[in-house]
Chain A
Amino acid sequence: MIQKILTLLCLGGLLSLFPLSLEAGVLEENNCSTCHSLSSEDTEKKISGPDLYYAGNKFQPEWLRQFLKVPAVVRPSGFITDPGFLKGSPENLVPHPSFPDEKANAIADKLMELKIYEQTPVVRNALSKGQRAKIKYQFERTYGCISCHQSLNLAGKVRGGISGPSLVNAGNRLQADWIASWLQKPETYLSKSRMPRYKMDSVTQNLFVQFLMTLKKENMK
């Protein structure tokens, strides 16, 4: 009897270990952790890529899959801690590796499991034309976001600075709730970003999130 229980315990232990080793597998196998932090406890400073331990909160899964197949440049000047960042010649701007379909999907699925909060997505109303015009004005003029971030102008042309990540495709890349969370408390994600902090009231912030979600590369002309 005792033997039986022991065998079952052992089996249970093995089974519970197995998925864990698989988990580490797909991301480790592909060396993601060389450039990205995959755990909040990873204190080693990564200078070539953004942290991914909250990838499941930040990205839209479809964008992530597509990115891993055909990587797009999100940060034209490299990552903010890159030694060459301010010189306009980042040292670590190697092209992101691209993966065949099946592997890309497996990595994306695994990354989407990395979360630091669970939240039911907030329902946000679409912007009216007037609201969109107002927020676009604030994006460019009141807050000066466009000095560092690329976005699309009314003619669908790419405009803006390149020190911040491009927002041209923000509406396909990011989750609305993550943008809201970033605007509220950027230090949750990055101990020190190069972006000014803004104290927006919740109404303006919501409108901003909605505005950023309308920026999509298919609107580029």
Chain B
Amino acid sequence: MIRYSKNFLAGITVVLVGLGGCGQNHEEQATANLKPPIQQEIEEIRPQVSQIVRAPVTEKTRKTYQWYCAQCHGIEGKGDGINAKLLTVPPRNHTKASYLETRTDEQLYEAIKFGGLSVGRAPCMPAWENTLDEETIHSLVQYIRELCQCEAL
């Protein structure tokens, strides 16, 4: 019995270690066994906490969301973009207030700027710091607030 449990545990460990990235088959999507980022990883990615600016949501913000974000988060932000079913961790549904009100604007800003790992979330979300300017990132945070119809608690 003891030997059996040991083998079982070893098997589980191998499976857990094997799941490191984002691309998985749909059937395997239910397994959210991604390794959480280690502290060192987080510090490397997120150099400093920035000041949050409440940038207005403009036409450019919406277009930016449609051009880049909607690939995974979907046209309406429901987390159902064309890549969604192929990722290990489903993209965030930006219309889900119950989750987004638990996130601060700083956390959303950092997730966009430095990627998911920087805020202890999935690595599937890349860093947009070299693609989007500061103002656009700030306005995207506000756009997410518009989508979820919520504020940070």
Contacts and interface: CB of A to CB of B under 8 A. Distances in A.
Interface string B20-49: 111111000000000000000000000000
Contacts, number: 95
Residue from B24, B70, B123 having most chain A Cβ neighbours under 10 A = B123
A199 to B, nearest CB: 5
Contact of A199 (B20, B68, B86, B130): B130
Interface stretch (A111-119, A173-181, A190-198, A203-211): A190-198
Report the contact-size class of chain B (Cβ under 8 Å from the partner).
Answer: 20 to 34
A163 interface: yes
B16 interface: no
A161 B23 contact: yes
Nearest to B28: A159
B81 interface: yes
A135 to B, nearest CB: 12
Interface stretch (A5-13, A51-59, A138-146, A212-220): A138-146
Given A86-B71, A141-B123, A194-B67, A146 B22 contact: yes
B87 interface: yes
B137 interface: no
For the residues of B in contact with A, the DSSP-based class is loop
B68 A159 contact: no
28 contacts: A86-B71, A86-B75, A86-B81, A87-B75, A140-B20, A140-B22, A140-B23, A141-B117, A142-B117, A144-B127, A147-B23, A148-B72, A150-B23, A151-B23, A153-B23, A157-B25, A159-B25, A159-B86, A161-B86, A163-B72, A163-B82, A192-B67, A194-B67, A196-B68, A196-B130, A197-B130, A197-B131, A198-B130
Interface of B: 18, 20-25, 66-68, 70-72, 74-75, 81-83, 86-87, 115-117, 123-128, 130-131
Given A159-B21, A163-B82, 12 more contacts: A77-B82, A137-B20, A137-B21, A141-B22, A141-B117, A143-B126, A147-B125, A148-B72, A162-B86, A192-B67, A196-B131, A198-B130
